[in-house]
Chain A
């Protein structure tokens, strides 16, 4: 641990709690409906119950846990796309999140999504033009690039999103199962890209259910269970404990 203390932290998560309020039906909604009390049948779900950790530059962090354990919520909160109910996230740069459910704009062609994605990432129009060829090439979707993105398979969408996100250097990148739907070849290519980024002193978070991906790419693993940090340590040890818990 003392070797770590001298390194510069890039992400610090301090007592992070996230709640979701949602309208529940059935049993959960049964308590007295009242217009004055504003929300009927609102159920508060504690997705994260106080998670704390620090990450230093050059680390790549695997995040594992069962479905619904709060992994994606943690990623969204670190990216600043989900406001915490308590606690805070501090980061040296704006973390970029690469998720599964981000279809950008489904009605528009892949090519136009490249333009918009690049501009939204803060590239200038010239930089987008310069990066376009590489994005298309990396995604391997050249023949489909003029078709609306809604006609793409989920794997194709993920490839394009990953390629767009990679057009810009990110100090902190969060990859939330975005690679899971890609085929084997693309996965190998993108995992290589993530390792390259890590070597350039970027911090990478990788959420995955593929333990081999985690072991191959990560230097440290967080195990999230029911909204709490259950284990934090060496990939081998954490993966072993996680597998044993099932």
Chain B
């Protein structure tokens, strides 16, 4: 019995190896076929978190608004300085809402595999669906925030212009970038759980580096600081998305061409790298 060459038996019968990672193309085709799983899971997850609270969907908006109010009070009223641009409230709220979309995609994406172990262990499906679903959920969450943002913009005298339509490509690029980051974080967290501890710190650094409650252009203005500092700060993709959003929504803010380059370049590179990086470890995720 021990002398049977089982491998030869399997090959002769044309049986493929179980769990072998499919080619990237097949993987993406499979992913596309099951896209409804990702969208449905995102919707159900959102409904489940909201249904546990009295105010439900309102929290999606209230929570970042309250945080923005705290920063607005501290930096706009108590510690005033000339690093705050004109019409500070829409500036702050736009920045805060867009940053929330990024930071939530990052942290929820990182938990997408390690937080769904029972699902991963019981059913077979392309694991990429889980981080995709996590980012989709954050995108859904952004929708009511944008409605409130529109009300705030109008309330502070920023009337709708054609430029507002630029939010569509901006958010599309930002979603690509966020998905890439979520995929990278999801795989790294499987290899090393400790990454989870670093995420809040990285988020915090990016929060201060992305000019949420101050204008990077004003703070790092050339005479006070060497010119390279501003240039480096402008290569931060998160800052680029936020600045583009402000430029599209506020007439007092400019839309710089460099920002488009940074935003589209980082979105493309991060997404492609994230997809390949995640796919390459597909066989490992069951071990989580």
Contacts and interface: CB of A to CB of B under 8 A. Distances in A.
Contacts of B34: 119-120, 122
Nearest to A91: B18
B120 to A, nearest CB: 7
A116 B44 contact: yes
A91 B16 CA distance: 6
B124 interface: yes
Q: What does DSSP make chain A's interface, helix, strand, loop or mixed?
A: mixed
Contacts of B17: 88-90
Interface residues of A, number: 48
Given A52-B6, A82-B286, A101 B13 contact: no
Interface residues of B, number: 36
Interface in B7-39: 7, 9-11, 13, 15-19, 33-34, 36-37
B124 A81 contact: yes
A92 interface: yes
Nearest to A104: B119
A92 B6 CA distance: 14
A108 B19 contact: no
Contact of A12 (B13, B33, B41): B13
A9 B13 contact: yes
Contacts of A96: 124
Contacts of B11: 90
Contacts of A12: 6-7, 9-10, 13, 15
Contacts of A90: 7, 10-11, 13, 15-18
A70 interface: no
The 7 lowest CB-CB distance pairs between A and B, nearest first, are A102-B122, A80-B19, A90-B10, A14-B6, A90-B15, A119-B37, A12-B10
Interface of B: 1-2, 4, 6-7, 9-11, 13, 15-19, 33-34, 36-37, 40-41, 44, 48, 116, 118-125, 129, 283-284, 286-287
Given A12-B10, A83-B286, A122-B125, 20 more contacts: A8-B13, A10-B15, A12-B6, A80-B18, A81-B122, A88-B18, A90-B13, A90-B15, A90-B16, A90-B18, A91-B18, A94-B18, A94-B124, A96-B124, A99-B121, A101-B122, A116-B41, A117-B123, A119-B34, A120-B123
